[in-house]
Structures are given as C-alpha cells and as structure tokens.
A = this chain, B = another copy of it.
C-alpha cells in the first residue's frame, strides 16, 4: 500500500484555503497535516512532516513562504497570484539549489478552464474569426477577466504562428460603452449580471460553421480537482512547473 501524501495548507482560513483543507481531508490518498494562517509559524508545517504545501495566501507573503519551503525541501502548489517574470526567476534560482523539490504555480486550477484554453489554442488556426465572451457576477472588479485575457493571448499566438490573416470585420464606426477590450487583436466581451458566477465562451467561425467552447464554473469547489491533481503531481516534478497544462498532457 502506498502511503498517503502529507499536505499542509497556507492561508488555511481564507476562502480558497478552507476549500483546499476540505478537499484534502476528503481525498483517500492525502492526509491534511497542517493548517497555517496569518500570524502562525511556518515551521509547524515542517514539524508536522508536510511533503507538499498548498499556498493560497497573498502576493506580500508568498515569496517568503516559497523561500522557506524550498529551503526545507518541501514542494509547493501555489494558487496565489502576482507572479512576475522576476519572481519566477527567483523561484527557479531557489529550486536550482534543491534538486528534488518541485514548485507548481498555476493562475487557474479549473481543469475545465485549462482545457478550454488548450482547445482554443488548437482550434485557432483553422478559423477566420474568433471572439471571447466572458460572463461574471457583478461584484467582479476587473474586466476583462484574467482567464479571458490569457485565452486571447494564446489564441493570438497560435494565429500568428499559423500566419492567419486579420479577421474579417466590416464594422464602420465603433462606440464606447461596451464592457471588454481587444487583447492582441482578439475581442473580449465582458458581461456582468446578477445571477451569473463565472462563465466563458470562445466562439470560432469560418465559412458556414462555428465552433464554440464554453466553460461554466459554479463555485470555487470547481477548482479542487485541479488543486488535488497538482498536489499529487508536484512530488514527481522537481523544478518549476507553470500551469496545469503539462499535467493534463501527461495522461
């Protein structure tokens, strides 16, 4: 029998952290050994024998957490945002000194969302047109959503690599007032309405046909399958892994 992976959670009392604790606790092959939040000591995690830490804290403390964990030889799955190229470079440096340790940093743990982006990147070169429609609850501060902007970028890259011509568009005059924007030439339409949670549609079109890829996320429990996938994978993946994509390709 394989032994369970021993998992600690940083930011354990935040909204995402709590969900992670519940999900780890419910998984047969994982054991929750440490729950740490603001004002508590990181060494509780090492004392408890954590093999993997899951970090949903905030950009102010995440780098300190990573430095300490890598130094201790503990692998980390990171959902905290705000990773610049400089920060990623710093993490790579720390990892270089600790060959067995893995860090996986993902902007999005929704497997459905990651598949949507992969499929969008793959479909891009076969269609003349593509636009993104993202729909969220009205308490969301930013428009377009980070996922939509990221999707637009991977589509634009795929189109550029394939030498796709500009999309056809005869619109003569444009007006202000529609929420959304254009990211690298791909239009994003941002809908905000009560009753929505988090939804995104990527619409591809060419002569006589359209292909639509749509992701609907109803609550943050939808991220847990992706977090657990990462926890299980990070021990087998020394060094830095960015995003869930490499894990989804594995199977």
Contact = CB atoms under 8 A, between A and B. Distances in A.
A176 interface: yes
A244 to B, nearest CB: 10
Instruction: State the oligomeric state as a number of copies.
Output: 4
Contacts of A129: 138, 192-195
A23 to B, nearest CB: 9
Interface residues of A, number: 78
A140 B171 contact: yes
Given A131-B191, A217-B209, A175 B181 contact: yes
A195 B219 contact: no
Identify which of A180, A191, A205 gathers the most chain B CB atoms within 10 Å of its CB: A205
Return the 7 tightest CB-CB contacts between A and B, nearest first. A178-B180, A208-B222, A195-B205, A177-B182, A193-B205, A129-B193, A175-B181
Interface of A: 110-113, 115-116, 119, 122-123, 125-131, 133, 135, 138-144, 162, 167-182, 187-197, 203-225, 248, 251
5 contacts: A112-B210, A139-B170, A143-B174, A211-B214, A212-B215
